[in-house]
Structure 1
Amino acid sequence: MSTKTNAGNFFEDFRIGQVLAHATPRTVTEGDIALYTALYGSRFAVNSSATFAMDIGLEDAPLDDLLAFHIAFGKTVPDVSLNAVANLGYADGRFGEPVLAGDTLTTTSTVIGLKENSNGKTGVVYVRSTGVNQRGEMVVDYVRWVMVNKRDTSKPAPEPVVPDLPAVVDASALRVPVGLSLEDYDTVLAGSPYLWDDYEIGEKIDHVDGMTIEEAEHMMATRLYQNTAKVHFNQFEQAKGRFGKRLIYGGHIISLARALSFNGLANAFKIVAINAGSHCNPTFSGDTIHAWTEVLDKVEFSERQDLGALRLRTVATKDLPCADFPYKDADGKYLPNVVLDFDYTVLMPRRVG
């Protein structure tokens, strides 16, 4: 048989400092934005209305930050995680230039850590991935780590290297969109009267609503990002695996949780950082996702009295509403119904005067 096809990289194919230039630049269209809205129902006004966005100084309605993240992430899959067992976590993620319809995104990754697992069959690969637009401007930059199968279990393990990653993205690294002016920010159109000043550290918000995942929509969403991971599509192979069915891309759960968070955080209009994130348990078609959010910290900008940032932890569960839900057991392990623990930072208007 021809060997022109790409089987993807296995654990022993990676090396520290290796740079992976990912194929298939992606020009984002209005159609992508409409499909993303249809899949998740996100209602944040700045992403939904060009008029609203321009009223606060932006050039046009930007893409939902997570749509830009997923597109950049999807580019990395054929080179980083085609042979993955699981995507384990995220850290040190920053969002840069807003992405508009018509922009073209390209992604490059650098291997920054390697550690073989004790079973000798898999290892963890750490990469920093950077997505840029057609002008070479950073739109998203993040670290993720993924468990990858070995091709040959007899291969010796590399010297383990585990990167030292920050627990939270420093406030000085948070990027405020150029030209952002909140004088005409309309809380009625945005959907909530609650601004930065109204939230307290330690406050927990039950987002109340739930959303059931259908088989077709999670596969359509993953194809939208050109994510080629077999575990999401190939039922023939997955029927023989641990779960016997297709796994749902973890980013799908992040987007569902973010869309659900509108009810309680409608004025959290832009994500500026991903501090940490874990996909705690797998999700499947038919699961119903709920979410709640805890306010971890509040950030003030010395040069902006009209704008603040909230550090948030959003926890998503499957088939279990979140009100007063303990998400870890007595030993600190995630309970089976917990599918996402996502620590991120958002911008939110402040009251002036």
Structure 2
Amino acid sequence: MKTNSGRFFEDYSVGQVIRHAVPRTLSGERALYHALYPARGALYSSDEFAQACGLPGSPLDDLIVFHTVFGKTVPDVSLNAIANLGYAEGRFLAPVYACDTLSAQSEVIGLKQNSNGKSGVVYVRTTGTNQHGEAVLSYVRWVMVRKRDIDAPAPVTLVPELATVVAPGDLVVPEGLHFDSYDAELAGEPYRLCDYTVGEVIEHVDGVTVEEAEHMLATRLWQNTAKVHFDATFRPDGQRLIYGGHIISLARALSFNGLANAQMIVAINGGAHANPCFAGMTVRAWSEVLDKAETGVPGVGAIRLRLVATSGTGTVLRTQDGKYAPDVLLDLDYWALMPL
């Protein structure tokens, strides 16, 4: 048998290092990304704008990098996943440009079998590198994975201790980046870091209804082969689950309205896919300002944001019992660079 049925929970061990196939040279992904999502960030749209900010040209959108690296890991980490549960300690370490080639490698850093004995949670730290062997992205995620044999013995439980937030001093500002001659008019909004206050909530107004064909096209774009996104017979309800990264990109793109100058994501502090999303749902988004910081680079500040995607309206995150509201699809905590 030469086909790959993927790893099951009992196939993982703490300390295991997995080198993922297949390296990918990025070329036309930007055009497809901007066709799939209403992304309009100036730094990722214009060479001239990026050069005025000290970069050699317009890098690829940070989430293109995230999705590409994530997609590499799916056949080895989440092909038999029930759900992708969360993220932590994500750092974007260097810009990625067209014609760069990305590879990925993951280390298993934790395991915990579920009480039902039919599945367990796998924690991995994934690193994406470019063709020069330079790390461009690192993050931790944890996934609930089916067991092949429910009688297989449970591993020793190890749940890694993870930072709740990437410290501002650990944020990587791309070499050469500055906002000395930042053109807010071309960027789309006048609001700089000083115009936002901690605790402020921004409703992003617009919404996007998820279509079956679009979400599958997007997921294939990232070479994500998880069965739940394509095979309608894989879930008891007969529905294809929308890839969580698709919701992240939709919400991030919708946040342009109110946060146009939050130019580059430099860290993902944490995240949860709170409830499943299916075709036909309309995704809206709102953000809460959690913190602000200086980066040590003149003119470049960092804003910490909670980005919430919802299939409803309003800005309710949790119900009175502390659980996520049923219409909350995504709760993402991240740092972005913004002119002071």
Category of TM-score, reference length = shorter chain: over 0.9
1:286-338 Cα shifts (integer Å, max 9, x gaps): 1100000000011113x3331110110011101x223xx32211110011111
- Give the corresponding residue for 2:151: 154
Shift of 1:242: 3.1
Alpha-carbon RMSD across the aligned residues, in angstroms, is 0.8
Which aligned pairs between 1:62-211 and structure 2 lie closer than 5 A?
62-211=59-208
Find the aligned partners of 1:300 and 1:53 in 2 and give their Cα distance: 21
- Give the corresponding residue for 1:321: 313
Matched, 1:248 2:238: no
Find the aligned partners of 2:212 and 2:316 in 1 and give their Cα distance: 28
Find the partner of 1:291 among 259, 276, 285: 285
- Give the corresponding residue for 1:7: 5
Letter in 1 for 2:251: A
**Runs of 5+ unmatched residues, structure 1:** none
Letter in 1 for 2:284: H
Shift of 1:210: 0.5
Find the aligned partners of 1:19 and 1:140 in 2 and give their Cα distance: 17
Find the partner of 1:19 among 5, 17, 20: 17
Letter in 1 for 2:138: D
Letter in 1 for 2:42: A
Contact 2:178–2:297 (CA under 8 A) maintained in structure 1: no
TM-score, scaled relative to structure 2? 0.99
- Give the corresponding residue for 1:336: 326
Find the aligned partners of 1:305 and 1:25 in 2 and give their Cα distance: 36
Matched, 1:40 2:37: yes
Find the aligned partners of 1:138 and 1:185 in 2 and give their Cα distance: 28
Find the aligned partners of 2:174 and 2:90 in 1 and give their Cα distance: 16
1:58-111 Cα shifts (integer Å, max 9, x gaps): 111111101100000000000000000000000000001101000000000000
Q: Percent of counterpart pairs with the same letter? A: 62
TM-score, scaled relative to structure 1? 0.95
Letter in 2 for 1:26: R
Shift of 1:124: 0.1
Q: Secondary structure at the match of 2:294?
A: strand
Aligned residue pairs, count? 340
Shift of 1:32: 1.0
Shift of 1:139: 1.1
Shifted more, 109-118 versus 305-314: the winner is 305-314
Find the aligned partners of 2:99 and 2:10 in 1 and give their Cα distance: 38
Find the aligned partners of 2:237 and 2:325 in 1 and give their Cα distance: 18
1:253-294 Cα shifts (integer Å, max 9, x gaps): 000000000000000000000000000000011110000000
Matched, 1:225 2:222: yes
